[in-house]
Amino acid sequence: MKYVIGVDLGGTNLKIGGVSPHGELLFRTDMPSGVKEGRDAVLKKILNAIEETRHSIKGKKLAGIGLGIPGIIAPETGTVIQSPNLTGWVNFNIKDVLADKLPWPLYVENDANAFALGEGWAGAAIGINNFCCLTLGTGVGSGIVLNGRLWRGVDGFAGEIGHIVVEPDGASCGCGSWGCLERYVSANGLVRMAEEGKDDRLAAPLLKSCGGVHGVSAKAIADFARHGDPFCIGLFKRLARYLGIGLADIVNLLNIEMIVIGGGLSNVSDLFLASAKEEMLKRSFKVPGRRVKVVAAKLGENGGILGAAFIAVKAGAY
């Protein structure tokens, strides 16, 4: 019996798991990705976690490894062309560098693309041929599946929905533009909006609890919003409105069957998804707006692992 390993490298967390041919998770481990410690430190963590996974899964043969990496990827060569969240990874051929140490077939894909394929394989979008996944995490990732296949774009840059402009004169973004969706509809976006509003008298309870503006986290904002804090509820309202604008753009452009919302923030989707849908319906064309299902991802924490594993499965690792 064979299995594959899926590696989900995020800006914050590194998650690795062994996965059966049917999409069943056999073992998983996670740790902070520690991207600030530099590229070599991250690669070492990946190798150690793969080793740990191999030792934990007895009596089965490893058939291949899929790597999901946040950034623009050239899957055919395994090169990270550009990554806003991984400094020092520009034009870095991770496949070549790891090939010596990992003598199994190795497949590299953009993490959000991998996540989308995973949701199509074993999650919310089983049997759906035209859908798109947004991952609301540290930033916003997305993967677009059209006619059952990933739409990468001619240069691999397609699906950067996180960089749709929702506020023309808004916050500047690492991509070189201003007011991108990612600056509002992500964990970093929430924290940034809280910083922006720090002088608001309503912000005082949050700031006090977090030990000042630099201690504020998306989790604290969500906890406060859940307990009725008006400042944090206001931040989620802003997030929902911007997300709705982005969703309407996707619907009008693609007329797809489903939009799957994943990533860390999807754990608190009850705080924003319903009002984001309302905003979307106000702005999108009626027929595609009513047709599209906007749903939370099903694979949750393990979506990235399963998606990366599926890259290896799909490429014929079994």
Which CB, 171 or 254, lies closer to Zn ion? 171
Nearest Cα to Cα of residue 136 among 6, 257, 269, 31? 269
User: 């009513």: which residue's tokens?
Assistant: 290
Copy the structure tokens of residue 184.
Answer: 């509002």
Instruction: Quote the least distance from Cβ 198 to Zn ion, whole Å.
Output: 23
**C-beta closer to Zn ion: residue 82 or 129:** 82
SS3 46: helix
Question: Smaller CB distance to Zn ion: residue 180 or 206?
Answer: 180
Q: Determine contact, residues 263/136, Cβ cutoff 8 Å.
A: yes
Supply angle C-alpha 135, 140, 142, rounded to 5.
60
**Least distance to Zn ion from the beta carbon of 71, Å?**
13
Residue 163: CB minimum distance to Zn ion, A: 4
From CA 106, how far away is CA 100, in angstroms rounded?
Answer: 11
Nearest-approach distance from CB 157 to Zn ion, in angstroms: 12
User: Which strands form 106-110's sheet, in the order they lie side by side?
Assistant: 25-32, 13-19, 2-9, 61-69, 106-110
Compute the least distance from the CB of residue 187 to Zn ion, in Å. Answer: 16
Would you say 128 or 175 has its CB closer to Zn ion?
A: 175
Binding residues for Zn ion, rule: CB under 5 A, are 163, 173, 175, 177, 180
């390993």: which residue's tokens? 5
